[in-house]
Amino acid sequence: MDVDVASEDEIARAVGEIDTWIASWLHEGSFLVAADKQIVTDGTATHRWYLRFAGEEKDAITVWATLSQRTLQTEVQLMPEPDEQVEGVLRYLLHQNADLYGMAYSFGPENAIYLMGRISASSVNEEVLDRIFGSSVHYVDQHFPQAMSLGFPGRYKRRHKG
């Protein structure tokens, strides 16, 4: 993904859009239940947000949103490294990747499985944030039960059927 460096004004606008989106959804008392903002000082990014959503199958879905000079990257831990049927879990999630919009499942720290996405920093707006955060929650709730059933067959019990 070749993306131009965003100007200071574009970064400031993106930060404002994200902050406004969060405040709006927190105010409505919706599925966004908490948010924390961190200003990054190590030069790897400009800001980072931790957004905690109420899930249906997974109690909490935390989306990490990291704004850098070029991109807004999101990541959500779907599940820890599977105990069993690793190939089956990976096959299932790779098939699901084909239907995801702007996101994909991949390995993250400690071989946990993450849902990750990235857009240009200059394209951040309310509509894009609705899609990114809404899709993150939807995809995790949709794929978590099957992935956990495969990876932890003796320990995971599905909360909802459907």
Q: β-pairing, 113-120 with 103-107?
A: antiparallel
Separation CA 58–CA 55 (nearest Å): 5
Which residues fall within 8 angstroms of residue 6, CB to CB, at 6 or more apart? 14, 69, 70, 120, 121, 122
pLDDT digit string, tens, across residues 123-134: 999 999 999 999
Q: What pTM value is reported for the model?
A: 0.89
Report phi then psi at 159, rounded to 5: -80, -45
For 59-103, the pLDDT digits (tens) are: 899 999 999 989 999 999 999 999 999 999 999 999 999 999 999
| Per-residue pLDDT at 40 | 81
Alpha helices for the chain (secondary structure H): 8-27, 86-97, 126-151
- Looking at domain 8-151, does it have CATH number 3.30.460.10? no
